[in-house]
Amino acid sequence: QVQLVESGGGLVQAGGSLRLSCAASGRTFSAYAMGWFRQAPGKEREFVAAISWSGDRIYYADSVKGRFTISRDNARNTVYLQMNSLKPEDTAVYYCAARGGTIATIGAVYDYWGQGTQVTVSS
């Protein structure tokens, strides 16, 4: 069983930065592809970023490309999402997810999910 816990969310002014962390349990963390998703009030969950188990393949949603960076530290069982140049439309609950397979951008194929962390960007 894999358990995921997000942290690092909060309130920030437009143009500011935040770094989200996702701490994972399990000795097989390095074998999992990881993703970040977000859900704003009244909207469907959307893909943000994903990274392969080895870190050599990375995907970003067009809406965050050039502003967000996903990375992972398998020795620490942790995935990060560095968010720069934040905009009010980035306001959402951010979730990390893991799957025992290849990198993916579809939430339905991920096996494990964290509880989410709130990111609020004021204008």
Residue 20 · residue 9 · CB < 8 Å: yes
pLDDT of residue 26: 75
Give just the sign of the alpha carbon dihedral 4, 59, 106, 81: positive
Is the predicted pLDDT of residue 117 greater than 80, yes or no? Answer: yes
pLDDT of residue 30: 67
* pLDDT, tens digit (0-9, with 9 covering 90-100), for 27-41: 666 688 999 999 999
CA distance 100 to 57: 15
* pLDDT, tens digit (0-9, with 9 covering 90-100), for 48-102: 999 998 899 999 999 999 999 999 998 888 999 999 999 999 999 999 999 988 9
Average pLDDT over residues 3-13: 97
Closest CA to 106 of 45, 57, 54: 45
Of residues 25 and 68, the one with the higher pLDDT is: 68
* Sequence letter at residue 17: S
pLDDT of residue 65: 98
pLDDT of residue 75: 87
In 1-123, beta strands by DSSP E: 4-7, 10-13, 18-24, 33-39, 46-51, 58-60, 68-73, 78-83, 92-99, 112-113, 117-122
